[in-house]
Amino acid sequence: MMNSDISRYVLITGAAGGIGKAIVKEFSDVGYVVIASDCVPQPVDLICTHYVQSDLSEMMINKEYFNIIINKIQSFIGNNGLYALINNAAIQILGGVESLKIDDCNKTLNINLLAPLFLSQSLLKQLEKAKGSILNISSIHARLTKKNFLAYATSKAALSGMTKAMAVELGGRVRVNAIEPAAIETDMLKSGFSNSEEKYKLLAEYHPAGILGNVNELSRLVRSIVELDNGFFTGEVIGYDGGIGALLHDPA
């Protein structure tokens, strides 16, 4: 647990989802001042210091709305600085080369890629003041994907690449890192297999670890990376994939 005399502020986007809730709880439980954000009203089971309902896609196309949300976040931070910006929010719109629509791609890139960039840009002074860091939640789809994940995989590959580019740009001012999780056991993932428990079991078994990722373990990894105060740890893209990133699928 951190020193009780130090107030560390963190901003977590996508806070209402399974992974987001776990990250919020991880930081709240050890005394951080947590500013949580999502596009839906605050869930009753999401306990945080401040909550900002915001539509990241709308923020990327509406400058006035963007400024309103940023001003609200900055008002919560005040003069304290921002210890961590955790860009967790994402959208997954399925479709391939022949079926994707322009609006699908624009919305995906706005939420998954551009919002992390421009939130970082707008909160850079607060991050610098706290000697803080940016952590982007990317995906295994940045490296390995499958059919109909074209927009999502493209956005996550770009997010991982942007993480490295931002780390180079910002140098020792603000650390920038990313995590690329594979399948994480959340209610949303389970709902996709509600009619096929056998397929859900096969998904877990397909990972060399033999299990799916755990939200609490992922959240601890997030906090561990954020709390690495040594400025040398930056520009890193860390896999959390149960070994699937090393798996060669050979039907023979």
Residues with Cβ < 8 Å from 245, sequence gap 6 or more? Answer: 140, 143, 144, 180, 182, 239
Q: What is the model's pLDDT at position 179?
A: 98
Report the interhelical angle of 115-122 vs 150-170 (nearest 10°): 30
* pLDDT tens digits in sequence order for the chain, 252 residues long: 454 456 899 999 999 999 999 999 999 999 999 999 999 999 999 999 999 999 999 999 999 999 999 999 999 999 999 999 999 999 999 999 999 999 999 999 999 999 999 999 999 999 999 999 999 999 999 999 999 999 999 999 999 999 999 999 999 999 999 999 999 998 878 887 878 888 899 999 999 999 999 999 999 999 999 999 889 999 999 999 999 999 988 765
> Token pair of 160, please?
């991982």
- 9-183+214-243 fold: Rossmann fold (3.40.50)
User: Which pTM does this prediction carry?
Assistant: 0.95
Q: What is the model's pLDDT at position 252?
A: 59
Q: What is the model's pLDDT at position 193?
A: 83
Q: What is the model's pLDDT at position 2?
A: 53
Q: What is the model's pLDDT at position 144?
A: 96
Going across the sheet that includes 84-87, the strands are 50-53, 33-38, 9-13, 84-87, 133-137, 175-181, 237-240
